[in-house]
Amino acid sequence: MKTHKARHRLRTCLLLALTLNYTVLTMSVELADIKLGIALFDMILDFRRVPPVAGRLVNMTKEIRDVTRDKKLWRTFFISPANNVCFYGECSYYCSTEHALCGKPDQIEGSLAAFLPDLALAKRKTWRNPWRRSYHKRKKAEWEVDPDYCEEVKQTPPYDSGTRLLDIMDMTIFDFLMGNMDRHHYETFEKFGNETFIIHLDNGRGFGKHSHDELSILVPLTQCCRVRKSTHLRLQLLAKEEYKLSTLMAESLVRDKLTPILIQPHLNAMDRRLRQVLQVLSECVEKEGYSYVVEDDLQEEQEMDRAHTGPRQR
């Protein structure tokens, strides 16, 4: 009974790699391997704001259909003309028989994400990203036409105090390095108010076009010219040959059961984009001065450590 409940509580993120009988003709497809790459990438950057993810083959019949208590999900299962087990679930887009996820015959590549605390225990708040895109062909967002837009943001709660603006800068760097243009909202734990951190949940549009660097993603950084010292030092470290970002990513990804996960051009793109981020920060320091641009969060951590441990004994 306990095993059954444990298996039931696994949240299976089946954003599947394409199979012969399943093709989606869209500009960008969210895949299981992308989720894996993003979770590892988040840890290498030392942000640790993405729930841990692991990839594995899932038996759709035994591990999902036969154990789910969600009747709505159960009703979306069917057998395809190719005699494969398929389902399409419930969502706003692409959840239909035309866009079903199908196994071979019922084995499917999936990513398993760690559960966040239940919403009944830890409510989350959704925030609109100040640098959200307009998603309109002819209408531009305010940040696209006002070069001083960051000054307005800095005077608006919760960005006028605490670390939230620096969190947005971290998120901006994170998104640019993986090419994610779709950060329209973000979440925080409600209980801690503004004394909390951003949770990077919606990352499915990352690692798309490796040949294109979307510089508009970096606009928050170029407009605000602010960054944590810990983030700046980590980026500088990952730009060194002995700690090269692409190499660390490749070494981390090879351990997953679904390897290969990212192709070499995606890894090369990360190194290239990292150099661009460091160039932007270098220009910011030259223009505004190091003490304005780089927030020394490391000193605060050291002071907190000393407060917890007390004075050293001689």
Confidence grade of residue 115 (pLDDT, cut at 50, 70, 90): confident
Residue 178: partners with Cβ closer than 8 Å, 6 or more residues away:
37, 38, 41, 203, 206, 207, 270
Q: Residue 15 above 80 pLDDT?
A: no
- Residue 57 annotated as binding? no
Q: Residue 5 above 50 pLDDT?
A: no
- Residue 113 annotated as binding? yes
Q: Which of 33, 182, 213, 271 is an active site residue?
A: 182
Cα separation, 61 vs 105, in Å, equals: 10
Strand, helix or coil for residue 137: coil
- Residue 283 annotated as binding? no
Contact criterion met (CB below 8 Å) for 187 and 127: yes
The arrangement of strands across the sheet holding 53-59 comes to 12-13, 107-113, 53-59
Element (H, E) at 102: strand 101-102
Q: Residue 70 above 60 pLDDT?
A: yes
pTM for this predicted structure: 0.79
| The pLDDT of residue 194 | 85
Amino acid identity of residue 304, one-letter, is: M
β pairing state of 107-113 and 12-13: antiparallel
Cα separation, 157 vs 155, in Å, equals: 7
Residue 303: partners with Cβ closer than 8 Å, 6 or more residues away:
none
* Mean pLDDT of all residues in 242-265: 87
Known active-site residue 182: yes
* Mean pLDDT of all residues in 39-59: 89
The residue among 107 and 119 whose pLDDT is bigger is 107
| The pLDDT of residue 308 | 56
What is the torsional sign of CA 228, 234, 235, 236?
A: positive
* Mean pLDDT of all residues in 225-238: 98
- Residue 116 annotated as binding? yes
| The pLDDT of residue 28 | 41
Strand, helix or coil for residue 58: strand
| The pLDDT of residue 101 | 87
* Mean pLDDT of all residues in 262-277: 95
Element (H, E) at 111: strand 107-113
* Mean pLDDT of all residues in 64-79: 92
67, burial (CB in 10 Å: exposed 0-12, middle 13-18, buried 19+) = middle
| The pLDDT of residue 29 | 43
Q: Residue 282 above 50 pLDDT?
A: yes
